[in-house]
Amino acid sequence: MTTINTLNPQELNAIIRNIPPDNHGAFAIPKGWTRVDVGNLETYVGDSIYIITLIEKLPRTMTEMESDNMSVEQVVTKYLRDEGFIGEEYAYIGLQRFDLANPPEGLI
């Protein structure tokens, strides 16, 4: 893709900082981000550990959203692993786009 990045490193780092800490504390901020286009999915990889994917498909229902997000995660992580961008351990974040005038049925 030849489009500009939707998110800059500061915004990507803010997403990571907002992940609730686990038993080991807060998640470390990556030293760098790489944009990888997986088909038409704009994806960012931070230090081969963090994956942030922008999901543009507008779901009609919560069930459709959950199904789509699971499928996207499987496709993205398989591609990134096969291409050497990530290893076996990673944190995946799918950012879902919504139509605020017509939110998915069951969201509200």
DSSP secondary structure letters along 22-84 = BTTBSPPPPS-EEEEEETTEEEEEETTTEEEEEE----SBHHHHHHHHHHHHHHHHHHHHHTT
pLDDT in tens, 68-104: 999 999 999 999 999 999 999 999 999 999 888 888 8
pLDDT, tens digit, 9 for 90 and up, residues 9-54: 999 999 999 988 888 788 899 999 999 999 999 999 999 999 999 9
